[in-house]
Amino acid sequence: MARLFGTDGVRGLANAELTPELALRLASAAAVVFAESSATESHRRPRAVVGRDPRASGEMLEAAVCAGLAATGVDAVCVGTVPTPAVAFLTADYHADFGVMISASHNPMPDNGIKFFSAGGHKLDDDVEDRIEAAMDDDIIRPIGAAVGRIVAAPDAGDRYRHHLAQAIDTRLDGLTVVVDCAHGAASELAPQAYADAGATVIAIHAEPDGLNINADCGSTHMDKLQAAVLEHGADLGLAHDGDADRCLAVDSTGQIVDGDAIMAVLATSLKDQGKLREDVLVATVMSNLGLHIAMLEAGITVHTTGVGDRYVLEELRRGGYSIGGEQSGHIVVPGSGTTGDGILTGLMLMARMASTSARLADLAGIVTVLPQELINVRVADKHAVSQSQAVREAVAAAEAELGETGRVLLRPSGTEQLVRVMVEAATADQALSVAGRLADVVQGAGA
């Protein structure tokens, strides 16, 4: 039987794979596991923070999750529609025993997901997820009477999170004009407010969620409209979030995309200049472009490389006590200001660097010379068959021999979909496209 938890919680097609019955059982099992592992104060029931993004199925799943928590004797503190990093922060700020976020992040509207945070707002280790999954098969003792959990609203949640964001930078953003693409997602109100609070002039686009339009041809996975808006308004930059706002990508004043690698380079050098970059280390995944490694070497910064997924970045950050890490996708973690990736925080820090140096984003990001990279998402029937294919292994070996020292190959199955991501970096764009295309054909055949 396949593991229920993927790379970032439990995801699936809402009401088909991720049903309210599953959500209720999952929440109840999590309540049991967290009650066992946390030292809950004796004078109160366990407490969980519950948030969601604005997709329509979130209402249904929120009700199921809260019912599962209350039925297990846990009070559910509902914080409404907020970004994922807000739930992580509020889990700590409300002194909750754990947090639950209902979101499928950048995935299409029909999907949804459930992810958990432990006390303090930290993502879970594999063993805790395994314990939750195992507990779903157990008979759970349900309290009665006054011991049944309560479900309460938290109307001050957004204000608490905005106050937290305001404390993250000490540079005013007055004079900067930013276009922010909110992806019709969880940051549609909070992101424009946070940037305006810091002094920026804000032009918000795709900030009218109706439950059905989240991530629809907008946000961090569809940057063309943001690029056009930056040029139209003559803005200093654009910022793009995904549905739950744990990611941030940027557009400079010329309309060029600034990806997560370049953003990490800008923020890491900023921290280094302030003497705040512990051991002069940046943590990145194997998906980061070789150009980032070269730029950081020239800046006197060491890059520690992890597997793909923010959880592995977080593990390395905690292991070494490092100051910043992230992914090319724009999921960036700054442990001094948050326990998980926070797209709004990233946007604030990026603009603070621009304001403090009076530099254009294009100039700051220009320290990274990106090697041509081609990424092809190959939809397959069985992604696990691809990793076991001799034909795929031989094709990869041939590609690596062709690229030599001037490029690299990475094949990675998606953690949430039946996809295999084929990534190739090469000396030229034509070579990257050619090699990636040939590999994608082999992967398609192996996974059919």
Give me the pLDDT at residue 208, please.
98
Comparing 67-71, 276-280, 331-335, 382-386, the range with the smallest average pLDDT is 382-386
Sign of the Cα torsion 244, 249, 252, 257 reads negative
Q: What is the pLDDT of residues 284-305, one digit of tens each?
A: 998 899 889 989 999 999 999 9
Instruction: Give pLDDT, residue 294.
Output: 87
Weakest mean pLDDT among 226-230, 308-312, 347-351: 308-312
Q: Which among 222, 224, 163, 174 is positioned nearest to 202, based on CA atoms?
A: 174
Collapse the DSSP code of 254 into the 3-class scheme (helix H, G, I; strand E, B; otherwise coil) and give the result: coil
Check whether 363 is labelled as a binding-site residue.
no
Which residue type is seen at 222? Answer: H
**CA distances from residue 230 to 177, 201, 256, 437 in whole angstroms, order as listed:** 9, 13, 10, 33
Mean pLDDT of the chain: 94
Q: What are phi and psi of 107, to 5 degrees?
A: -70, 160
Q: Check if 105 is active-site.
A: yes
Distance CA 344, CA 172 (A): 15
Residue, of 8 and 416, whose pLDDT is higher: 8
For residues 187-204, average pLDDT: 98
What is the average pLDDT across 78-90? 98
Using alpha carbons, select from 221, 209, 220 the residue that is nearest to residue 180.
Answer: 220
* Confidence category of residue 169, pLDDT binned at 50, 70, 90: very high
Radius of gyration of the chain (CA): 22
Token pair for residue 120?
């303090």
pLDDT of 319 higher than 70: yes
Show the 3-state SS of 291-353: HHHHHHHHCCCEEEEECCCHHHHHHHHHHHCCCCEECCCCCEECCCCCCCCCHHHHHHHHHHH
What percentage of the chain has pLDDT greater than the value 90? Answer: 85
**How much is the pLDDT for 37?**
67
Domains of the chain: 10-157 (3.40.120.10), 168-365 (3.40.120.10), 373-446 (3.30.310.50)
Indicate the residue type of 346. Answer: T
- Direct distance between the N- and C-terminal alpha carbons of the chain, in angstroms, rounded to an integer: 21
Q: Cβ contacts of residue 364 below 8 Å, gap of 6+? A: 266, 353, 354, 357
In the predicted structure, residue 38 carries a pLDDT above the cut 90? no
- What 3-state DSSP class applies to 106? coil
Closest CA to 99 of 87, 81, 111: 87
CA dist 61 and 57 (Å) reads 6
What are the CA-CA distances from residue 355 to residues 1, 173, 192, 238, 276 (Å)? 52, 6, 18, 15, 18
Please say whether the beta carbons of 441 and 380 come within 8 A.
no
Structure tokens belonging to residue 262: 């370049």
Look at the alpha carbons of 84, 85, 86, 90 in this order and tell me if their dihedral is positive or negative.
Answer: positive
209 vs 181: CA distance, rounded Å: 12
Q: Do the annotations mark residue 246 as ligand-binding?
A: yes
Token look-up 């990736």 returns 341
- Report helix angle 57-70 to 20-37, nearest 10: 40
pTM assigned to the model = 0.88
Q: Is the pLDDT of residue 147 over 90?
A: yes
Q: Tell me, what's the pLDDT at 308?
A: 81
Query: Distance between CA atoms of 168 and 153, rounded to whole angstroms?
Result: 26
Average pLDDT, integer, range 375-390: 91
When pLDDT is averaged across residues 392-400 and rounded to a whole number, the result is: 94
Residue 1: predicted pLDDT: 55
Q: What pLDDT shows up at residue 278? A: 97
Catalytic residue among 105, 220, 288, 329: 105
Residue from 100, 270, 260, 72 nearest 170 by CA: 270
